[in-house]
Chains A and B, each alone.
Chain A
Amino acid sequence: MALAESGNLAVGGVQYLWQEHNAFLDGLLGTVKLSLIAGILSTILGLIVAAMRVSPIPALRIAGTAWSGFFRNTPLTLVFLGTSVVLPIVGIRFAWADAIGLDTFFIFAVIALSTYTSCFVADAIRSGFNSVPVGQAEAARAVGMTFGQTLRLVVLPQALRTVLPPLASMYIAMIKNSAIAEFFNVGELTKFFDDSVRDHPEHLYAEFIAVALGYIVLTLLVSAAFNLAERKLAVTR
């Protein structure tokens, strides 16, 4: 009896998901969009912060360390809340966003997610630099390479290979973290779950499994891409 009932429920769940597949895909697209933009911005910001942290100028090093220390120890939920309530108070409301079809909340979410992620990206890159033995650069300088050549031909190729695995887990964590944008009214996967569970609590399991699978596929894609890059770049050292 119970079995037949749960069987009916499963069929109903699949039917329901099929009906709602457009909303689901919209959510998936929202998560992809948010992660992609925040991923690019956090990488740029992370590179800048990492450059500051390895620079010979103490003031920049301290500023970079402070940036990392701040975001590393603050909950992302607080960063989200901070951006979405403080920026409008100081008059940053992104009025131009509507014109290009973007939601203000989406921009706040991008800012919160990319500033937060940037500190982890910066730390990963910096530890990549630190993993290159000093002797490598000393040897490069000894054979007369300039700073640019040392960086381009000796340090970066080695640092990049060390940095890839931590960067991959960083981006995966960021995709999962983008779920918090749900609370701030950004249309994405978790928002789809939250909305549809409130309207149709009877299909709870189907909705959860579908959304979870969406995230799993996205994270698998990222790790597959990074594995491929790692294999392409692999050299014996």
Chain B
Amino acid sequence: MTSVLYDNPGPKTRRRIRFWTAVSVVALAAIVGFAIWQVARKGQISADMWTPFADSGLWNQLFSALFSTIKAALLSIVLALVLGAVLAAGRLSNRGWLRWPAFVVIEFFRAVPLLLLILFGLFTWGQPLAFIGEAIGASPPDAFAALVVGLTLYNGSVLAEVFRAGINAVPRGQSEAAYALGMRKTAVMRMILAPQAIRMMLPAIVAQCVVALKDSALGFIVGYQELLSFGKRIYQGAAEIWQLSQPPVVTTLVVIGAIYIAINLVLSWFAGWLERRMSRSTKLAGKPLTAAQTGDEVAAADAVPAGVEPPN
């Protein structure tokens, strides 16, 4: 496994690696063990701290809280795809009066913290749009509306840039050939560029779902009853309900965190699978967009795999 930093190890280096592996295993085990011991010392991971999670009634509520999280994330990703497509179309337009507003909107919502947007929404579009939350059965409906609109504006702006990058990543020969055949710009976009770009963008879009799911936890701050809020309710109320000596804070956060991580790992794996599958595809002119190209949070996962040469 020659890498940029070191050659394939010889017998001497292998011995040295074995030695340092042993040292680092001991060191890591000591660090992790110390952390666990600190938590265990306070009785935070003793058997009775887990009793709430042996209750099936709690799991029913936990799943409905998870469902609230997924509702917010899913609805905003779907809306963000629509908004992103509209904004990207504006950004790619030949007309300045469409291009500039789209540019300003995209850059504004990407530069402003999502939490600020959601808090602002609570005081503005939260109430008027609360009927959406009511229709979906979210509580409180105005916090749900503020959260979903905030997530939509932010993710829509990020996706708009993804779409633009995707359209620009289609080899130029494709649109040149289409223009040479006499197609108009709209037809080129609709029949040539978009179908190819969408396939290349799929991994980046799925990766953006991870961001939306994580950011939906901001609903906790504005009082939307979702997974994290429910976690806080568990550890605040559990001591009384289950007669515990102290609030089961650590165990609750471990369970809630594990749920988020499990869902996101599945999504990330799916994005990676799509990316690998597409970089093998011979029907695709150009390489798939990696998470790296979506900018912002989803930074460089891995170097772009060597794609196939464009068939033109």
- The answer to whether the Cβ of B21 comes within 8 Å of any Cβ in the partner chain is yes
Q: How large is the interface on A (under 10, 10 to 19, 20 to 34, 35 or more residues)?
A: 35 or more
State the CA gap A96–B235 with chains docked (Å): 28
The residues of A that contact B51 with a CB separation of less than 8 Å are none
Q: How far is the CB of A198 from chain B (nearest CB, A)?
A: 9
Asked if residues B256 and A190 are in contact (CB atoms below 8 Å), the reply is no
State the CA gap A63–B112 with chains docked (Å): 34
Of A10-18, A36-44, A107-115, A208-216, the one with at least 4 CB within 8 A of chain B: A208-216
- The answer to whether the Cβ of A145 comes within 8 Å of any Cβ in the partner chain is no
Q: How far is the CB of A51 from chain B (nearest CB, A)?
A: 10
- The answer to whether the Cβ of A9 comes within 8 Å of any Cβ in the partner chain is no
Asked if residues A76 and B116 are in contact (CB atoms below 8 Å), the reply is no
State the CA gap A197–B296 with chains docked (Å): 28
Q: Which residue of A lies closest to B114 (CB)?
A: A176
- The answer to whether the Cβ of A57 comes within 8 Å of any Cβ in the partner chain is yes
The residues of A that contact B113 with a CB separation of less than 8 Å are 175-179, 190, 215
The residues of A that contact B142 with a CB separation of less than 8 Å are none
Of A98-106, A123-131, A227-235, the one with at least 4 CB within 8 A of chain B: A123-131
Asked if residues A123 and B299 are in contact (CB atoms below 8 Å), the reply is yes
Q: Looking at the complex, which one of B39, B265, B303 makes contact with A90 (CB distance below 8 Å)? A: B39
Asked if residues B4 and A132 are in contact (CB atoms below 8 Å), the reply is yes
Of B81-89, B167-175, B209-217, the one with at least 4 CB within 8 A of chain A: B209-217
- The answer to whether the Cβ of B264 comes within 8 Å of any Cβ in the partner chain is yes
State the CA gap A47–B69 with chains docked (Å): 33
Q: How far is the CB of A60 from chain B (nearest CB, A)?
A: 5
Q: Which residue of B lies closest to A207 (CB)?
A: B120
Chain B interface residue count, CB cutoff 8 Å, equals 62
In the complex, the number of residue pairs spanning A and B with C-beta atoms less than 8 Å apart equals: 182
Q: Looking at the complex, which one of B6, B119, B297 makes contact with A193 (CB distance below 8 Å)? A: B119
Q: Looking at the complex, which one of B9, B38, B232, B268 makes contact with A81 (CB distance below 8 Å)? A: B232
B residues 88-140 in Cβ contact with A at 8 Å: 108, 111-116, 119-120, 123-124
Q: Looking at the complex, which one of A56, A75, A132, A147 makes contact with B214 (CB distance below 8 Å)? A: A75
Asked if residues A59 and B116 are in contact (CB atoms below 8 Å), the reply is no
State the CA gap A147–B235 with chains docked (Å): 51
Q: Looking at the complex, which one of A69, A141, A175, A215 makes contact with B7 (CB distance below 8 Å)? A: A141
Q: How far is the CB of A39 from chain B (nearest CB, A)?
A: 15
The residues of A that contact B78 with a CB separation of less than 8 Å are none
Q: How far is the CB of A217 from chain B (nearest CB, A)?
A: 9
Asked if residues B28 and A130 are in contact (CB atoms below 8 Å), the reply is no
Q: Looking at the complex, which one of B4, B6, B228 makes contact with A77 (CB distance below 8 Å)? A: B228
- The answer to whether the Cβ of A149 comes within 8 Å of any Cβ in the partner chain is no
State the CA gap A134–B299 with chains docked (Å): 22
Q: How far is the CB of A211 from chain B (nearest CB, A)?
A: 6
Asked if residues B300 and A78 are in contact (CB atoms below 8 Å), the reply is no
State the CA gap A77–B295 with chains docked (Å): 21
Q: Which residue of A lies closest to B9 (CB)?
A: A56
Asked if residues A176 and B249 are in contact (CB atoms below 8 Å), the reply is no
The residues of A that contact B186 with a CB separation of less than 8 Å are none
Q: Looking at the complex, which one of A56, A169, A182 makes contact with B299 (CB distance below 8 Å)? A: A169
Q: Looking at the complex, which one of A63, A76, A89, A151 makes contact with B5 (CB distance below 8 Å)? A: A151
Asked if residues B214 and A76 are in contact (CB atoms below 8 Å), the reply is yes
Q: Which residue of B lies closest to A138 (CB)?
A: B2
Residue from A56, A60, A123, A141 having most chain B Cβ neighbours under 10 A: A56
Asked if residues B111 and A216 are in contact (CB atoms below 8 Å), the reply is yes
The residues of A that contact B221 with a CB separation of less than 8 Å are 77, 180, 182-183
- The answer to whether the Cβ of A170 comes within 8 Å of any Cβ in the partner chain is yes
Asked if residues B253 and A57 are in contact (CB atoms below 8 Å), the reply is no
State the CA gap A31–B300 with chains docked (Å): 26
- The answer to whether the Cβ of B157 comes within 8 Å of any Cβ in the partner chain is no
- The answer to whether the Cβ of A34 comes within 8 Å of any Cβ in the partner chain is no
Q: Looking at the complex, which one of A127, A172, A175 makes contact with B302 (CB distance below 8 Å)? A: A127
* 10 A-B pairs with the lowest CB-CB distances in the bound complex, closest first: A75-B217, A179-B113, A73-B264, A127-B300, A176-B113, A77-B217, A75-B214, A179-B115, A130-B303, A73-B261
Extra pairs beyond A56-B9, A220-B111 (9, CB < 8 Å): A73-B210, A73-B260, A73-B265, A81-B253, A89-B44, A120-B299, A124-B300, A129-B5, A189-B116
What residues make up the interface of A, taking CB atoms closer than 8 Å to B?
A: 54, 56-60, 63, 69-70, 72-78, 81-82, 85-86, 89-91, 120, 123-124, 126-127, 129-134, 136-138, 141, 147, 150-151, 155, 166, 169-170, 172-173, 175-180, 182-183, 189-190, 193-194, 197, 201, 204, 208, 211-212, 215-216, 219-220
Can you pick out 5 interface pairs between chain A and chain B where the beta carbons lie within 8 Å of each other? A73-B214, A127-B292, A129-B5, A134-B4, A170-B299
